[in-house]
């Protein structure tokens, strides 16, 4: 197990991890993080300015309104908007696209709400170690409520869940993690682990001063449903996985795993460092 980011959180003498805060789409539900991408593609297509899947995924993980704003700020999309409408993008365009996004996202949310294989089992293992489970997302509160209900029926139920509107701002700001720590009654932040599949997740964790773990094999960097991913030729599958790892490493993750099945080993390594059994 390799520690990638040497700038580790301060735990103030604590020796055990007390909370893990998971992302949702691409980490615990929706293998490949398909729901937000499909909705963003549809929103921009209906506006007459189609976007690519790569463009839709570039800022994945941040609050959805912020995500749409980031897309509108991209040079290619900004230029296409000017060609289409004969004027630059206005704030009213952002409002209009976001208003379109909300019902379309609800329309497909349940379709992609399946809990990723192995998630309930790893949560049981973590709770067996006395670790509390929180969650954060880029979805709105109402969208998150849909996911929470769907996930609970499949055996995954975190102790708390926060959306950007609950905490005042989304990723990369740390406020959702702060809110989760308060709700879970866990401190110092050096005994908290944040797990997610995007660079925004990693930055959220780093900004909060917690351990940041990227999961490469199930999320935004893969961009396919599990069945489709598994059907890829082995070299193609390995290449996509390597690219996903690199993106999370570049974002500053302390650790990167392929699946959540590796998380208990990561926590054991962190706790060994906290207790002084590993010094480098």
Question: How far is residue 56's CA from residue 79's CA, in Å, rounded to a whole number?
Answer: 16
Residue count (the chain): 280
Kindly state the average pLDDT of the residues 115-122: 96
Report the share of the chain in percent with pLDDT over 90.
Answer: 92
pTM strictly above 0.85 = yes
Q: What is the pLDDT of residues 218-259, one digit of tens each?
A: 999 999 999 999 999 999 999 999 999 999 999 999 999 999
Q: Which residues of 177-196 are buried (b: 16+ CB within 10 A; e: fewer)?
A: bbbbbebbebebbbbbbbbb
Q: Check: CATH 3.40.50.300 for 19-34+116-273?
A: no
Q: Which residues of 29-40 are buried (b: 16+ CB within 10 A; e: fewer)?
A: bbbbbbbbbbbb
How would residue 276 be classed by pLDDT, with cut points 50, 70 and 90? confident
Whether 23 is catalytic = yes
Q: What is the pLDDT of residue 14?
A: 83
In CATH terms, are 19-34+116-273 and 35-111 the same topology? no
Q: What is the pLDDT of residue 8?
A: 87
| Apex 266 CA angle, 4 and 261, nearest 5 | 120
Q: Class of 35-111 per CATH? A: mainly alpha
| Main-chain dihedrals φ then ψ at residue 98, nearest 5 degrees | -65, -40
Structural tokens at position 175: 């406020």
Domain ranges of the chain: 19-34+116-273, 35-111
How high does pLDDT run on average in the chain?
A: 95
With beta carbons less than 8 A apart as the criterion, state whether 179 and 167 touch.
yes
Q: What is the pLDDT of residue 15?
A: 86
Compute CA distances 240 → 140, 222, 224, 243, 263, whole Å: 29, 6, 10, 5, 21
Given the residues 30, 59, 64, 194, the one annotated as active site: 64
Given the residues 23, 59, 166, 197, the one annotated as active site: 23
- Compare 8 and 263 and report the one with higher pLDDT: 263
């Amino acid at each position: 197990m390799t520690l990638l980011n040497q700038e580790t959180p301060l735990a103030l003498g604590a020796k055990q991890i007390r909370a893990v805060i998971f992302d949702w789409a691409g980490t615990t539900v929706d293998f490949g993080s398909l729901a937000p991408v499909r909705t963003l593609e549809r929103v921009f297509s209906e506006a007459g300015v189609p976007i690519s899947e790569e463009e839709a995924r570039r800022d994945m993980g941040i609050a959805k309104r912020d995500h749409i704003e980031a897309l509108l700020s991209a040079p290619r999309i900004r230029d296409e908007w000017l060609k289409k409408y004969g004027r630059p993008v206005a704030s009213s365009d952002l409002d209009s696209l976001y208003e379109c996004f909300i019902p379309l996202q609800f329309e497909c949310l349940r379709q992609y709400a399946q809990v990723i294989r192995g998630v309930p089992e790893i949560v049981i293992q973590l709770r067996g170690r006395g670790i509390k489970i929180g969650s954060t997302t880029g979805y709105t509160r109402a969208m998150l409520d849909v996911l929470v209900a769907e996930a609970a029926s499949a055996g995954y139920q975190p102790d708390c869940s926060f959306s950007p509107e609950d905490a005042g701002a989304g990723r990369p700001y740390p406020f959702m993690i702060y809110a989760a720590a308060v709700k879970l009654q866990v401190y110092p932040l050096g005994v908290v682990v944040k797990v997610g599949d995007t660079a925004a997740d990693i930055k959220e964790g780093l900004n909060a001063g917690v351990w940041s773990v990227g999961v490469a094999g199930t999320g935004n960097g893969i961009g396919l449903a599990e069945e489709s991913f598994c059907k890829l030729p082995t070299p193609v599958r390995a290449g996509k996985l390597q690219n996903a790892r690199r993106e999370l490493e570049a974002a500053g993750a302390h650790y990167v795993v392929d699946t959540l099945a590796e998380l208990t080993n990561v926590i054991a390594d962190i706790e060994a460092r906290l207790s002084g059994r590993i010094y480098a």
